[in-house]
Amino acid sequence: MKVLCFASQKGGSGKSTLAASVAVAAQQAGERAVVVDLDPQGSLAEWGRTREAKGIIFREIQPAALVRWIADTRKIKGVSLVILDTAGTFGPEVDTALKQSDFILVPVRPSALDLRAARPTVERIEALKRRFGFVLNATNPVTQGRTADALAALEAGGVVAPPVADRTDFRDAAASGLGVTEINPTGKAAAEIVALWEWTKAQMETTA
């Protein structure tokens, strides 16, 4: 069982959005996934309630109960992937999630402000000696040059996943408890999320 965490101290970077759609793409690729909302804001709760009927288990867990819950879930065997969505404010609760993770995806929006704001997140992850990758999220499909600049800036600080553009499929999917690969399976958002999942899976499988 692998534990994948979405973390970033920058609010609105896309943790919950990407966690939901990556979970669905992973499930479609054969994983038995559980999505855990650790954010007291409960952003994924409504999505999760709608989702429950469609094959992905959803849990809202208090951060204090996480270590125990993961240990218990490992014993069940039926779960191959746990996806943790965390709060945008770091502290002991998010540390607990980071420590439990095999890999952490750090969504970053392509602006100078957001690129700078990623630094404390990375420092915390590195202090805890966890593996992570950036994912450039909500890029403008029209301004490719800006995306390339932002990718180059991120590459200076760590490994970088395939980027995800700003697309309405994400908003439509969230509203109906779906992933983008379900709401528009042939869309560009779906292709990007599949690429993100495949990249992330490969990262989790390498032990180095």
Ligand X SMILES: Nc1ncnc2c1ncn2[C@@H]1O[C@H](COP(=O)(O)OP(=O)(O)OP(=O)(O)O)[C@@H](O)[C@H]1O
- The answer to whether 43 contacts ligand X (rule: CB under 6 A) is yes
Our CB check for ligand X shows the closer of 111 and 205 to be: 111
The DSSP secondary structure of 43-73, one letter per residue, reads TTHHHHHHHGGGT-EEEE--GGGHHHHHHHH
Rule CB under 5 A: is residue 109 a binding residue for Mg ion?
Answer: no
170 binds ligand X (CB under 6 A): yes
Site membership for Mg ion, residue 43 (CB under 5 A): yes
Minimum CB separation of residue 84 from Mg ion in Å reads: 11
Find the binder of ligand X among 4, 5, 7, 16 (CB under 6 A).
16
Number of neighbours of residue 95 by Cβ within 10 angstroms: 17
Kindly tell me which of 138 and 153 has the beta carbon lying closer to Mg ion. 138
**Considering only residues 57-86, where is the footprint of ligand X by CB under 6 A?**
none
Among 2, 4, 5, 13, binds ligand X (CB under 6 A): 13
Summarize as ranges the residues that interact with Mg ion (CB under 5 A): 15-16, 43
Q: Which residues bind ligand X (CB under 6 A)?
A: 8, 11-17, 39, 43, 88, 137-138, 164, 166-167, 170-171, 174
